[in-house]
Amino acid sequence: MRIVLVGPPGAGKGTQAAYLAKNLAIPHISTGDLFRANISQGTPLGQKAQEYMRAGQLVPDEVTIGMAKDRMHQPDAENGFLLDGFPRNLAQAEALDEILKADGLKLDAVLDLEVPEDEVVKRIAGRRICRKDSSHVFHAIYNQPAAEGVCDTCGGELYQREDDSEETVRKRLEVYHSETEPIIDYYKAQGLVVTISALGKVAEVTQRAMDALPARD
């Protein structure tokens, strides 16, 4: 099964991608992992990406597309994959179609995780991270520490990352609307989009997605 996962920041895409890939026995291909792997292995694409990142510039689409293409051609992706973070704009979506077409393949589904915008802001802007260990994560509403501003696990100070401020979240949502949402329409025209609500517990959302995806052959 070849799936693209889309959804706004705060939809829990990474978490769902990991569970779904495991359930479907296909590799989870995330843009973040692609960049990390190519850069740490020093591939030509990784070196190129690093040049742009060091200069504080956006990595051009063709670099990202090249990395995704290499990854999709690895043996473990022969029977399918779940893409997370790619494609993130229309140019990348069209390139993905070309890559698959050249191999005589096509996507089976585009899974769209839907979350109301106010919920996204609440989820992200409420995050509180421990200064001593960033894996100690709390939430001002959903997962409150026993004492305000103090990590339950180690007593470290809790803070809000700059990236998680309401203003930044609203900006990230704007980028999502203008750049990524057009790919949903593009895939709708191909009849590929399956929309599910990303509200509720992680396991419930995973089950909802498994039920909504087309039957496997």
Does 133 interact with Zn ion (rule: CB under 5 A)?
yes
Q: How far is the CB of 148 from Zn ion (least distance, A)?
A: 14
Q: How far is the CB of 152 from Zn ion (least distance, A)?
A: 8
Q: How far is the CB of 134 from Zn ion (least distance, A)?
A: 9
CB–CB of 61/89 below 8 Å?
yes
CB–CB of 213/111 below 8 Å?
yes
Closest to Zn ion by CB, 59 vs 150, is: 150
Does 156 interact with Zn ion (rule: CB under 5 A)?
yes
Does 69 interact with Zn ion (rule: CB under 5 A)?
no
Q: What angle do CA 32, 12, 57 make, to 5 degrees?
A: 35
E strand map for the chain: 2-6, 28-30, 81-84, 109-114, 127-130, 137-139, 158-159, 193-197
Binding residues for Zn ion, rule CB under 5 A, total: 8
The residue within the footprint of Zn ion, chosen from 115, 151, 192, 213 (CB under 5 A), is 151
172 included as an active-site residue: yes
Per the structure block, which two tokens stand in for 91?
Answer: 């140019």
Q: What angle do CA 58, 91, 43 make, to 5 degrees?
A: 50
The residue within the footprint of Zn ion, chosen from 6, 67, 130, 196 (CB under 5 A), is 130
Catalytic member of 69, 170, 172, 208? 172
Q: What angle do CA 79, 83, 85 make, to 5 degrees?
A: 170
Catalytic site positions: 13, 88, 127, 161, 172
The residues that touch Zn ion, with contacts defined as CB under 5 A, are 130, 132-133, 136, 151, 153-154, 156
